[in-house]
Structure 1
Amino acid sequence: MARPDILNPLFASVSTVKGVGPQLSKLMATFFGAPENQDAILLDVLMHMPSGIIDRRQQPGVQFAQPGTVSTFLLHIDRHIPPPRSNNRLPYRIEAHDESGEIAISYFAGRASWLEKTLPVGEKRYVSGLVTFYHGIPQLNHPDYIVAEDKFDELPLVEPVYPLTQGLTSKKLQLATQHALAKLPIVPEWIAQSRLEANGWPSFNKAMRDTHDPQTPADAKIEGAARARLAYDEYFAGQLTLQLVRATMTRESGVKRVLTGDISKKVIAALPFELTNGQNQAVADIEDDLRSNRKMARLVQGDVGSGKTVVALLAMAAMAEAGHQSALMAPTEILATQHFATIASIGEKAGLKVALLTGKMPAGERRSIQTQIETGEIDIVVGTHALFQSSVVFKSLGLTVVDEQHRFGVHQRLALSEKGRKTELLVMTATPIPRTLVLTHFGDMDVSLLKEKPAGRQPIDTAILSAGEYDRVIARLKAKVDEGAQAFWVCPLVEESENLDLVSAEDRHKALRQVFGDRVGLVHGRMKADEKQLVMEQFQRNELSILVATTVIEVGVDVPNATIMIIEHAERFGLSQLHQLRGRVGRGDQRSACLLLHGDKLTEMAQARLKTIRSTEDGFEIAEKDLELRGQGDLLGTRQSGMPGFRIAIPDFHKDLLELAHDDAVHLLEQNPGLQGSEGEAARTLLYLFRKDLAIPLIRAG
């Protein structure tokens, strides 16, 4: 279905606006994130929300002007006083008055010809700006607006303020915004009348006008009705898209799997620990999904060390009972190798054949494994995304397990399921994600939570120290290493930077080698995968006592003997990152410690982060706090991964609207799966407006 014709004017290039030349057009394309080699469009301008409001309605009269307020005056212009030629650092001053008193208008480096024309002596002008005082006389420095007495209606009394970029002025953006508003059509309503009335929301068209051309400050307030309406629309478009993806994944009815429980029982018997309540519940959820006749799409969310891999293994064991293969995909070779080690040692005791397949394997070994996958000899394959190349053919793939899902977007989820037409999908993440973000990014999936840690896990003692205590830290570390302990030492940079006064991993590695000799290893993201692998293995075998690293070790490295985590410049890391890094220790039965070393100048936000980490080990609590402190894009690394960031909704203000939008999207597609009739036409218009048209082909015909 093509884009509705009524929307075409909004898809016109910003270069159609008078006054937006090629240079500004290019700048706006970058600023609004237009696709490569394409212009920004008028819709981008409308979706760029004001960050605040300037209220110019106050006209107090000069005598009653208050310093620090924005005010508007009708002034009689008395005289111009240019600065002396010998001192151009002085401002160009203009004296003016109204019936109540005198005021000065000043411009630094002001052009005399322009000022004489704009503020002619003997005439009246409306002048609006920020009031200051100098030697007891009220001043307007570089006022924002000057209009003739008969042009008062051209002065925006309530003016939205927008985030800008170098070279894009407020005036130019206002120009483009007014042009876009003039092209804004009346669109069909996609929100139920009852919902609109209950919330006191305006139509989409009025909400846009109130936001960009407000008559009162209340019209455009972030917490006001217009902005709430638009935030709901943005959430609703996103949730509708996720529900359409879900419908596509679960549409072909799944297969009712017959599970005997034989292999799962053997796996549980081979485990060196009891399953937690959370693990038991997650396994029960998965088995219910597999026995039903719709395809599984489930997210298992667990904190660091909550035992997700075991849940995945039991899901794969259940699939083997039903006579099908499983594939577990990890984001890195290190993680894939580690999962393989865990799964193979337990799985083989239960009679499961487990293989590892990565891009770095010798060709002969790789071919041999591929043959066994094709003949069905192998029950479980663990690997990186190399598993989904066309050369890998499964005899009967029944289950795909993806680890660290936030690295994969919605489209990859669909592609993964294509390998086996009837494949079930299980996704695991060690990033505890607040509920608002689960809905935003995984609204198309059911969720199981693992809240407890397996028995025997020791709490981690966390301390905050200034980098000035380095010598004390080294002395304590030496004592511990002499007793046989192993430690991670994490730095934010790989190598020295001219711009940042931080210790790099390479420098720290050199410094520690002077104290600990060749018992110190180094890994960072610029090393080749096999070099990293080699150092990690040496550390795992306890051939190295200290591993200096960047955040490449954030996810999934398992060294039970490592009991010390030192994070240098901890103030440079996000909360969730600090939590992930700390989770690399405390994996054995010994008590562990985490030291957060910080630089001298700590911002308030950095202090809040470090205190939060020290006060709790609950990843979900930390994630909520991180969301509050940093915003949702950073939390999931979504700024880089092409996941949905928001242009209108602000999660702090609008989080209750997300649940509403989720429920409404589910309800709409249950009632009208093909989005037929006028209701369907309105919903499709919404998807085009919020650039979610990739979801349109997923709408079920009829």
Structure 2
Amino acid sequence: MDILNKNIQFVKGIGPKKALKLNKLNIFTIKDLLYYFPRVYEDRSNVKKIWQLEHDEKACTKGVITNIKSQVAKNNMKISKFVIKDETGFLTLVFFNQDYLTKVFKQGDSVIVYGKVKREGSILEMNSSDIEFFTNSPTSTCKMIPIYPLTYGVTNKDISNTIKNVYNNEKISIQEYLPQDIINKYKLCSIDFAVKNLHMPSDKQSLKIALYRMIFEEFLILQIGLFYLKNGIDNEKGIKFEKKEKLNDIIKSLPFKLTNAQSRAFNEVIGDMESDNVMNRLIQGDVGSGKTIVATLVLALAVLNGYQGALMAPTEILARQHYISLSDTLSPFDINVGLLVGSLTKKQKEKILDKIKNREIDILIGTHALIEDNVEFDNLGIVVTDEQHRFGVRQRAKLSTKGNNPDILVMTATPIPRTLALILYGDLDISIIDELPPGRQPIDTKAFEAKQRDFIYTNFIRDEIDKGRQVYVVCPLVEESEAIEAKAAEDLKDELKQKYFSDLNVEVLHGKMKPSLKDQIMNDFKENKIQILVSTTVIEVGVNVPNATLMIIENAERFGLAQLHQLRGRVGRGSHKSHCILIYSSKTNICKERMEIMEQTNDGFKISEKDLEIRGPGEFFGTRQHGLPELKVANIFKHIKILKLAQEEARNILKNDKNLSKNENILLKKEIIEKFSDINKEISLN
């Protein structure tokens, strides 16, 4: 049996119980373990003298134990104190409920320690430090220490020790899959060296070499796979749509004139549709830039050419809003719009499914329900997905299989710097709507510490309500579950009603509600029957209430910048001046920096760049691009130079060997297919 595929349970020191805990981290085999890379490294290689230690720093030092004391606190906590000294001073080590250490170490032992320093005058202390005997081969000090993402019951030492056991007890050899000429050209180390030194770096230079190899490899595989997705679609023959005069009549009927940016994006899409290649285009534009009307016109053109269209949205609220908007615009032109969402009764769904199959519905709008197997179109010509980052490659591919090579248009209101968009959406052409419609005013944003909360509720909200306006209050983001978020929103609503606004209609909206109740609440809010709407992030996208002029976001530090910007975009949709207030509790520099960015700019692209820089791409997108291989080591923002090299090399490889059929590329091809195996739409490398 291939040693890399050996079940982790049978590794020395693991067993069934520990294996189950590792399984929670998606570690099932030795290969999974070896490719479970650290998220960061702690540099413990610099051993300081005691007198050099500074307050609040994490540091490594060594000395001789001069005194050991134990005591029991009032709460029965056992506290052990070790005093160590070197030629420059004394340091007290404090350990909680680790009295076993008093049996391991004794007075006179030479030790080396790593921990966070507390200094008060000349008194130095370290709490819960790593301590070991001073030897020539320390295990947790004097080196670069990998820090892994963890789960309950699995410690950093568990993972490190398991990896050491594997290398000590198994003959590990990972087959090289990068062509030798690429390894030589970019001076890359072997895959064996890279994997081993990512976990157990022998020194800083070895870690640097290992990281470079793995970052380059991850980007190269991602780029080749994305180029295949794009080129595979480009090479397919699709529908050649024709211009229709009636489309101009629809445009003339709109109650507004398209902005220059909307017209430009629309013309780029129409240009694709008039070609006989399959369109695969992304429209990205800031909150309120008017992407939906472009999608409406594009869907109308498909219908005027005798085809059906589909529009998939991430939430029922947004799907229903699109349904109303498209129906209002297109029904006067005999274009029938249907809605398919999870909350419909079985009978209602069956009726819609029959109408779609029999071509009684021209455009079907819905949520994930659209990609269910029982949805059959008569003649699907174009697929539009809204808020693309919520779905990903696999889901839009599944929807596109419901027609015969339909055109694909995806939209996102999460602005992404163009260079990164070209990389992340490497299988798409890109249009950008970078202009807001006339009349949209910038939203004034202010950040306040939580201690000013009373002032905010008794002043700001009252001012807006007295003007006849309405208010959103977004409750804190709770990561554990949607049920807990719902409870948090209900509690906040009760607090506001009882403490501040007993005379007003305060309602709550969250994801655990029945869709019919959500719709009722949103309709009441639109009609100003509700003055204050407390909500979770279900209102993040698409909700449009022009009379709402104040957005208050509680615990704003828990949200990403892009998400704060999306939430802020729920106000400022009418002719009235609008405001956003961020209430935060954290006092960290990162929190302060993020609040300042929100106060300084309404530009989604600037905000997205900062968000990406601060939080990294994984958190930035909220969810990984479903179906694309995960970047375990590479960081799109930090490693942009390596990314560009890898992208250039990916083009070179495919230019010289379109199907990766040459001997030197066979193993690389196998690796790419394995990494992209999650995407239903095959990457055809034949």
Category of TM-score, reference length = shorter chain: 0.7 to 0.9
Indicate the residue corresponding to 1:620 in structure 2: 605
Correspondence for 1:658 among 631, 638, 643? 643
Moved more, 568-577 or 303-312: 568-577
1:649 and 2:649 correspond: no
Correspondence for 2:26 among 13, 20, 33? 33
Taking the aligned partners of 1:668 and 1:318, their CA distance within structure 2 comes to 39
User: CA-to-partner distance for each residue in 1:229-278, whole Å, 9 max, x for gaps?
Assistant: 211212223333334444555554223x1312313212221122222222
Taking the aligned partners of 1:137 and 1:572, their CA distance within structure 2 comes to 36
1:231 and 2:219 correspond: no
Indicate the residue corresponding to 1:568 in structure 2: 554
1:555 and 2:529 correspond: no
Question: Within 5 A, what are the aligned runs for 1:59-78?
Answer: 67=53, 70=60
Taking the aligned partners of 1:155 and 1:536, their CA distance within structure 2 comes to 56
Indicate the residue corresponding to 2:502 in structure 1: 514
Question: Within 5 A, what are the aligned runs for 1:577-656?
Answer: 577-599=563-585, 601-638=586-623, 645-656=630-641
Taking the aligned partners of 1:512 and 1:643, their CA distance within structure 2 comes to 48
> Number of paired residues?
664
Q: Cα distance, 1:284 vs. partner? A: 2.0
User: CA-to-partner distance for each residue in 1:556-611, whole Å, 9 max, x for gaps?
Assistant: 01112222223333333322222111111111223222233345x54332222222
Q: Cα distance, 1:395 vs. partner? A: 1.7
Q: Cα distance, 1:22 vs. partner? A: 3.0
Taking the aligned partners of 2:270 and 2:149, their CA distance within structure 1 comes to 52
Correspondence for 1:672 among 614, 637, 657? 657
Note if contact 2:486-2:510 (Cα within 8 Å) is conserved in structure 1. no
Taking the aligned partners of 2:301 and 2:313, their CA distance within structure 1 comes to 20
Going from structure 1 to structure 2, the CA distance change for 1:421 and 1:67 (only over 3 Å counts) comes to: same
Instruction: Calculate percent identity across the aligned residue pairs.
Output: 33
Indicate the residue corresponding to 1:51 in structure 2: 40
Indicate the residue corresponding to 1:327 in structure 2: 310
Taking the aligned partners of 1:498 and 1:398, their CA distance within structure 2 comes to 39
Indicate the residue corresponding to 1:400 in structure 2: 383
Note if contact 2:283-2:432 (Cα within 8 Å) is conserved in structure 1. yes
Note if contact 1:190-1:686 (Cα within 8 Å) is conserved in structure 2. no
Taking the aligned partners of 1:678 and 1:462, their CA distance within structure 2 comes to 59
Indicate the residue corresponding to 2:278 in structure 1: 295
Taking the aligned partners of 1:665 and 1:328, their CA distance within structure 2 comes to 33
Q: Give the match's secondary structure for 2:639.
A: helix
- List alignment gaps of at least 5 residues for structure 1: none
Match for 1:205: what amino acid?
A: D
RMSD over equivalenced CA pairs, Å:
4.2
Note if contact 1:298-1:427 (Cα within 8 Å) is conserved in structure 2. yes
Indicate the residue corresponding to 1:22 in structure 2: 16
Correspondence for 2:254 among 260, 271, 285? 271
Correspondence for 1:285 among 251, 268, 275? 268
Taking the aligned partners of 1:474 and 1:585, their CA distance within structure 2 comes to 20
1:212 and 2:195 correspond: no
User: CA-to-partner distance for each residue in 1:389-435, whole Å, 9 max, x for gaps?
Assistant: 34433221100111112221322122111111221111111122344
1:161 and 2:146 correspond: yes
Taking the aligned partners of 1:472 and 1:84, their CA distance within structure 2 comes to 50
Note if contact 2:489-2:508 (Cα within 8 Å) is conserved in structure 1. no
Q: Give the match's secondary structure for 2:468.
A: coil
1:202 and 2:189 correspond: yes
Indicate the residue corresponding to 2:526 in structure 1: 540
Taking the aligned partners of 1:86 and 1:474, their CA distance within structure 2 comes to 49
Note if contact 2:508-2:534 (Cα within 8 Å) is conserved in structure 1. yes
Correspondence for 2:238 among 239, 254, 260? 254
Correspondence for 2:287 among 304, 307, 316? 304
1:13 and 2:2 correspond: no
Q: Which has the larger radius of gyration?
A: 1
Taking the aligned partners of 1:106 and 1:479, their CA distance within structure 2 comes to 56
Q: Cα distance, 1:628 vs. partner? A: 1.9
User: CA-to-partner distance for each residue in 1:599-625, whole Å, 9 max, x for gaps?
Assistant: 5x5433222222211111111111111
Moved more, 49-58 or 384-393: 49-58
Taking the aligned partners of 1:142 and 1:380, their CA distance within structure 2 comes to 63
Going from structure 1 to structure 2, the CA distance change for 1:451 and 1:478 (only over 3 Å counts) comes to: same
Q: Give the match's secondary structure for 1:653.
A: coil
Q: Cα distance, 1:215 vs. partner? A: 3.4
Moved more, 482-491 or 299-308: 482-491
Going from structure 1 to structure 2, the CA distance change for 1:530 and 1:163 (only over 3 Å counts) comes to: same
Going from structure 1 to structure 2, the CA distance change for 1:239 and 1:696 (only over 3 Å counts) comes to: farther
Taking the aligned partners of 1:137 and 1:488, their CA distance within structure 2 comes to 51
Q: Give the match's secondary structure for 1:595.
A: strand
Note if contact 1:506-1:522 (Cα within 8 Å) is conserved in structure 2. no
User: CA-to-partner distance for each residue in 1:369-388, whole Å, 9 max, x for gaps?
Assistant: 44443333432222223333
Indicate the residue corresponding to 1:457 in structure 2: 440
Q: Give the match's secondary structure for 2:502.
A: helix
Note if contact 1:297-1:444 (Cα within 8 Å) is conserved in structure 2. yes
Q: Give the match's secondary structure for 1:177.
A: helix
Taking the aligned partners of 2:138 and 2:372, their CA distance within structure 1 comes to 64
Match for 1:162: what amino acid?
A: I
User: CA-to-partner distance for each residue in 1:412-462, whole Å, 9 max, x for gaps?
Assistant: 122111111221111111122344653564322222111111122122222
Taking the aligned partners of 2:255 and 2:394, their CA distance within structure 1 comes to 38
Q: Give the match's secondary structure for 1:625.
A: helix
Note if contact 2:486-2:536 (Cα within 8 Å) is conserved in structure 1. no
Note if contact 1:495-1:505 (Cα within 8 Å) is conserved in structure 2. no
Taking the aligned partners of 1:329 and 1:156, their CA distance within structure 2 comes to 53
- List alignment gaps of at least 5 residues for structure 2: none
Q: Give the match's secondary structure for 2:580.
A: strand
1:425 and 2:414 correspond: no
User: CA-to-partner distance for each residue in 1:130-183, whole Å, 9 max, x for gaps?
Assistant: 5999999999998744477xx769998634332364654555434433455564
Taking the aligned partners of 1:139 and 1:161, their CA distance within structure 2 comes to 25
Note if contact 1:237-1:692 (Cα within 8 Å) is conserved in structure 2. no
